[in-house]
Amino acid sequence: MRKRWSRIFALSMGIPLLLAMLAACGAGTTGSGGSGTPTTSGPITIKIASDFPTSGKDESAGKPSENGAHLAVNQANAQKLVPNVTFQFDPKDDVGPSGAHDAATGQKNVADLIGDALVAGIVGPLNSSVAQAELPEANTASFPIISPANTNDCLTQEQPAFECGGKNSKIATYRPTGKVTYFRIATRDQYQGAALADFAFKTQSYKSAYIIDDTETYGVGIATSVQTEWAKLGGKLLGRSSEAPTTTSYVNLLTQIATKNPDVIFFGGNDSTGGTLLRQQMLQVPALKKVAVVAGDGTQTSAFATTIGTYKTDGSNGGPVFTSVASVHLTGSTADKFISDYSAAYGANNIGSYSAGSYDCAMALIQAVKTVLASGVKAPASSGDAAQGTTFRQAVVNALQHISYAGVTGTVAFDANGDTTSRIISIYTISDTPSTGDGWKFITQVTL
């Protein structure tokens, strides 16, 4: 899950100029003029939705992601990227009764959005466990979902190493129509976990590790990826534990781990599902006070960085913390432009790891809508125009399958499974001089 800041407006590449023609009432019919070039007349309203955990325990990760998508919609309208079209932003919060991301809430959000024919697609979700619940119904409805942050391999792949290969494959469940309607621009955990293990073993020279996961889809997946790569590297695995997100004390487990003298503890999960508490409670176990923690993008949040604070060489604030983001870290003028625009709208300290990714996802949807309208497909006339809404969404899905869009995070393009064609992992640590306003400093980048 997290960070990328660059390039904003190389947004029209290879997409036909939308001239539009529209014969009819209200919001959105298209047709062909005598020249065969699409034209439009009259205003068209199309909604771009989002689904993120924007309150409670996950707010520091979810709200900045929502902001990124919202910024894209606002800029598309301001620049009139699609003539005669006004985009409305329709954000949903998938936080449930526990105060954290919730699969059932996400599933209901998707069902509600499918019922509004004007919604062209969803940017999100943030969490793979939420995606699991959302995908079957969305796929049945030919409803596009494009996530900046989902990394679990099993959402799009058959992976024996992650216990979703062969008879355990989940593809038929997530893709009941047999067609791809779900896309993501985050690099899969197969690569994220491997990059973390390589960094720990080769760069930091850690040789013995204990692995803990939070029992959720994302946490188990990335922990398994780390474990697989750790074994390939010849690292010593001291053990692995699965601890539910409701865990309130890790002290007994940590006390047992301390007797094994690990160089590093890998955590698979989110800050809200144990990452923050685990790192805090390591300070209560003397033998673990200086032990490093390595975790995936689920802990790469401003809340985690603020709570844990910067590593001190005397060990007074615990050992070093390293995390990853399943995307590229960009610098330069294009990155500065995105950060400037985002900061002006939402504050310099409110940028999240997947703000730029969410921006790109929303822009990809907008570009897909532009392509669809230019092809002559009619936009739905109203929220209740279910038949045309289905036709329009399927056309958007088709456009996304062939998109190649120059975005903030690099080229947005997808393979046959809906996965990003870019496999890049960035590594970060908590710092008093962060790369951006969220408390994390960029260390290195791995292309896989």
Interval 117-132 mean pLDDT:
98
Pull the structure tokens for residue 17: 């100029």
Q: What is the mean pLDDT of residues 68-82?
A: 98
Task: Quote the CA–CA distance of 297 and 215 in Å, as a whole number.
Answer: 16
Count of residues making up the chain: 448
Q: How far apart are CA 154 and CA 57, in angstroms?
A: 26
Contact 354, 3 (CB under 8 A): yes
Residue 181: pLDDT band (50, 70, 90) is very high
State what percent of residues in the chain have pLDDT above 70: 90
pLDDT single digits (tens) 292-340: 999 999 999 999 999 999 998 888 899 999 999 999 886 767 778 888 9
Sorted by where each begins, the domain ranges of the chain are 19-186+331-417, 189-325+426-447
What sign for the dihedral angle of Cα 218, 221, 227, 229?
negative
**Overall average pLDDT of the 155-178 stretch:** 90
Per-residue pLDDT tens digits for 400-444: 999 998 899 989 999 999 999 999 999 999 988 877 678 899 999
Q: Tell me how far apart the terminal alpha carbons of the chain are, to the nearest angstrom.
A: 17
Cα–Cα distance measured from residue 264 to residue 281, given in angstroms and rounded to the nearest whole number: 15
Residue 41 has a pLDDT of: 56
Separation between Cα atoms, residue 281 and residue 254, nearest integer Å: 8
Average the pLDDT over 165-190 and give the result: 95
Over 60: is that where the pLDDT of 7 sits?
Answer: no
CA distance 375 to 372: 5
* Residue 304 confidence (pLDDT): 96
Asked if domains 19-186+331-417 and 189-325+426-447 share a fold, the reply is yes
Predicted local distance difference test score (pLDDT) of residue 34: 30
Top-tier CATH class for 189-325+426-447: alpha beta
Architecture of domain 19-186+331-417: 3-Layer(aba) Sandwich (3.40)
Residue 165 has a pLDDT of 85
Q: What is the mean pLDDT of residues 375-382?
A: 98
Least confident of 16-25, 81-90, 437-446: 16-25
Q: What is this structure's pTM?
A: 0.88
Q: Which two tokens stand for residue 421?
A: 């064609």
